[in-house]
Amino acid sequence: MTNSKTIVDIGGSSGWIYDFLDSIELPGKIKKYSILEIPDIVSRSKRFNHSSKVQFYTDFKKIRSCDLLYTNSVIQYFPTNEYLIEIIDQVKPKYILVDDLYAGDNDEFFSNQISYGKKIPHRFLNFKKFRGEVSKKGYRLILKQPFNTPILDKYQPKPMDHFPKKYRLRYSLSVIFEKVT
């Protein structure tokens, strides 16, 4: 994965992951970094002052193949996995890295995330189903681990005690899939 020269970032916001990778992890190695975002972010993209290597898109069908498809804390806002599968079919990545994936042994369900007074549908995935759908596209899981990030300045399980026990996810996941066929 560290040889990835072309990266597609779903929900990449201002491109801060590119900035991090280009300055610390992969300096000068990324040839093209495509960010798939909502129109509001794309319309502001010129203000982010990135090099010509960074391109913003609202339509994934305009993005070509890539070495790495990356997303962080976005898939739970897709109503189904179908949109992600369409993106995978289009960009044909060698690797797929999903961080902060809300998935577990639970049945898939929706809840509402309250953000600035708005209710945003938030999907909690069944990991076995998610893995199966990605695997059908010729990928194998090579890493699955808890996504550890500080919450309120300390490492702790997700605050989900208000959910019935069978729906609680203690941690979201980081997963990597590799193309095999």
Looking up residue 131, the CATH number of its domain turns out to be: 3.40.50.150
Contact of 174 with 146, CB cutoff 8 Å: yes
Amino acid identity, residue 118?
A: K
Report yes or no on 15 lying in a domain.
yes
Q: Looking at residue 158, what is its pLDDT?
A: 66
Q: Measured between alpha carbons, how far is 125 from 61 in angstroms, rounded to an integer?
A: 25
Q: Looking at residue 9, what is its pLDDT?
A: 97
Report yes or no on 121 lying in a domain.
no
Report whether pLDDT(58) > 90.
yes
Report yes or no on 90 lying in a domain.
yes
Report yes or no on 137 lying in a domain.
yes
Report yes or no on 53 lying in a domain.
yes
Q: Looking at residue 79, what is its pLDDT?
A: 81
Report yes or no on 110 lying in a domain.
no
pLDDT in tens, 111-148: 877 778 888 777 888 999 999 999 999 999 999 998 87
Nearest to 27 by CA among 51, 10, 57: 51
Report whether pLDDT(69) > 80.
yes
Report yes or no on 167 lying in a domain.
no
pLDDT in tens, 6-28: 999 999 999 999 999 999 888 88
Which tokens is 90 given? 């289009």
Contact of 13 with 41, CB cutoff 8 Å: yes
- Domain that residue 26 falls in: 6-105+126-156+172-179
User: What is the number of structural domains in the chain?
Assistant: 1
Report yes or no on 112 lying in a domain.
no
